[in-house]
């Protein structure tokens, strides 16, 4: 079994276990793998597990008028396997936070919160060059699974580019920022992501008008 398949099976097992612990409604739809990870670098694979995320966000009916920022993060499990999807999910739940999306080492995009809902990923924050604060309400959060010594994989990078392109075009995103740009006193993530290259690559795909305000 390929590692990606193995990881996904493990994720489903974790979710199945979570469901037996009572916090989820009994009529909850089951997550189904849409397809296996592929080597196609620009084929975005999104596994929607929204029904299983119970914490770390609040429901909202945001429209494109409400959302104009993407915030990029890094995250890893503080256990034996730094890249454990299950571990990351447990940590998010324990901390009562969540991104909208998490990108596994294999480049699989896991949706945790609906885009129209407000996820708690940015915390106390300010958009550089503005007085806009508390950016959860106006942003979509994406977590890359990596550590401060292990850079994002090529699959993650390509999935991040593709996801940002789709979100930018869907929501009319104007700003792309790192967590460290909006919370510089508290945060250093995303780690080991070549931000100059990423800015270049995303602008090339979407528009030179995209803004990358930095701290």
Task: Name the site residues for Zn ion (rule: CB under 5 A).
Answer: 73, 179, 189
Residue closer to Zn ion (CB basis): 15 or 193: 193
CB of 72 vs Zn ion, minimal distance in Å: 8
Q: Which helix (DSSP H) or strand (DSSP E) does residue 132 occupy?
A: none
Residue closer to Zn ion (CB basis): 28 or 95: 95
Residue closer to Zn ion (CB basis): 62 or 73: 73
The structure tokens 């592929």 sit at: 38
Is residue 162 among the annotated active site residues?
no
CA distances from 180 to 173, 213, 215 (A): 19, 11, 8
d(CA 65, CA 50): 23
d(CA 32, CA 47): 8
CB of 212 vs Zn ion, minimal distance in Å: 16
The structure tokens 């974790």 sit at: 14
Considering 143, 150, 151, 162, which one is annotated as catalytic? 143
CB of 146 vs Zn ion, minimal distance in Å: 12
d(CA 188, CA 185): 8
Active-site residue set: 143
């Amino acid at each position: 079994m390929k590692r990606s398949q193995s990881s996904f099976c493990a994720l489903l097992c974790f979710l199945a276990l979570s469901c037996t612990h009572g916090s989820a409604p009994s009529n909850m739809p089951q997550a189904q793998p849409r397809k296996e990870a592929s080597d196609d670098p620009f084929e975005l694979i999104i596994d929607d597990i929204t029904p299983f995320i119970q914490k770390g966000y609040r429901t909202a009916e945001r429209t494109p008028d409400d959302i104009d920022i993407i915030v990029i993060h890094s995250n890893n499990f503080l256990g034996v396997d730094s890249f454990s999807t299950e571990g990351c999910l447990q940590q998010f739940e324990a901390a009562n936070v969540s991104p909208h999306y998490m990108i596994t080492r294999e480049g699989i995009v896991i949706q945790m919160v609906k885009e129209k809902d407000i996820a708690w990923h940015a915390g106390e924050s300010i958009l550089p060059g503005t007085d806009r604060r508390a950016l959860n309400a106006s942003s979509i959060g994406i977590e890359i699974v990596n550590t401060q010594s292990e850079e994002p994989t090529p699959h993650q990078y390509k999935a991040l580019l593709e996801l940002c392109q789709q979100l930018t075009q869907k929501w009319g995103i104007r700003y792309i920022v790192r967590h460290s740009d909006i919370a510089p006193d508290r945060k250093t993530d995303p780690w080991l992501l070549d931000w100059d290259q990423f800015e270049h690559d995303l602008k090339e795909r979407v528009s030179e008008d995209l803004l990358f305000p930095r701290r």
